[in-house]
Amino acid sequence: MIHREGYPTIGLTLLFSAAIIGAANYFTESAALVLLADVVSVLLLIIVLQFFRNPARNTVVNDRHIIAPADGKVVVIEEVEEPEYFKDKRIQVSVFMSPINVHVNRFPIGGLVKYVKYHPGLYLVAWHPKSSTENERSTVVVEHSNGKAILFRQIAGALARRIVYYCKEGDKAAQGGEFGFIKFGSRVDLFLPLGTKINVQLNQVVRGGETVIASFSED
């Protein structure tokens, strides 16, 4: 399945590919150059299609679990000060998405959307320490029915130039449900309450909507 965010890009890619093939056939009689144009056009289309793929995911809904908001690799697990919303110490878990990962973003928990804010910014590489506070980004806070809230942040990278999110304050979030999309290489940060049990390790590969990132404490 192809994500709806990909339709305009796929359309432009098809037009560009057709132009390349048409130009090669019109301006040259070299079979090798025509073949090269065909191969480049097909590869370009395949790359774009794989980037915008939207595979079905089997989310096992669990009130104690915090699931991965995106596909990728865990690049940060540390205690930090969260300055935007909570303004206190939280456990940050960051998932880096390479261009070959699925870029659909999913709600890590169910609950009420309490806060949504878009921030324009820079395009530092997504693993840069300052990308979380200086890059183009969106911040979403969801409060669980247990009263605990988590913050997750879409962050643009050096290649990502468009962040898309579909939720607004007051919406009901469904665990594993789609809340956004980031185009071309990026990351998602989670800010969890202190005492949350972390179930992943640095450099672990996770799947959005399926991998259990952490678990709420029972108190």
Q: Which distant-in-sequence residues (6+ apart) come within 8 Å of 15 by Cβ?
A: none
Cα–Cα separations (whole angstroms), residue 172 to 22, 34, 153, 169, 194: 49, 53, 18, 9, 24
The string of pLDDT tens digits covering residues 76-129 is 999 999 999 999 999 999 999 888 888 899 999 999 999 999 988 766 665 566
Q: What confidence tier does 133 reach under pLDDT thresholds 50, 70, 90?
A: low
Which parts of the chain are beta strand (E)?
65-67, 72-82, 88-97, 104-106, 111-119, 137-143, 149-156, 163-165, 172-173, 178-182, 186-192, 197-198, 205-206, 212-215
The CA-atom distances, in angstroms, between 32 and each of 2, 24, 28, 40, 83 are 32, 10, 10, 12, 58
Checking if the pLDDT of 160 tops 70, the result is no
Is 45 or 210 the better-scoring residue by pLDDT? Answer: 210
Each residue's pLDDT tens digit, 17-34:
888 888 888 888 788 888
Residue 109 is predicted with a pLDDT of 97
What is the pLDDT, as a whole number, of residue 130? 62
Question: What pLDDT does 126 receive?
Answer: 58
Q: Give dist(CA 70, CA 58) in Å, integer.
A: 13
Mean pLDDT of the chain: 88
pLDDT band with cut points at 50, 70 and 90 for residue 1: confident
> What is the token pair recorded at 138?
């969106």
Query: ∠ CA(184), CA(185), CA(188), 5° rounding?
Result: 120
14 contacts: CB under 8 Å, gap ≥ 6: 45
The string of DSSP letters for 166-179 reads ---TTPEE-TT-EE
Q: Is 60 helix (H, G, I), strand (E, B) or coil?
A: coil
SS3 158: coil
pLDDT average, residue stretch 40-53: 86
Q: What is the pLDDT of residue 124?
A: 65
If one compares 51 and 190, the residue with the highest pLDDT of the two is 190
Q: Which residues are catalytic?
A: 186
Contact 54, 3 (CB under 8 A): yes
The rounded Cα 204 to chain-centroid distance in angstroms is 16
CA dihedral sign, ordered 74, 76, 77, 83 = negative
Say if residue 142's pLDDT is above 80. Answer: yes
C-alpha–C-alpha distance, residues 216 and 192, integer Å: 9
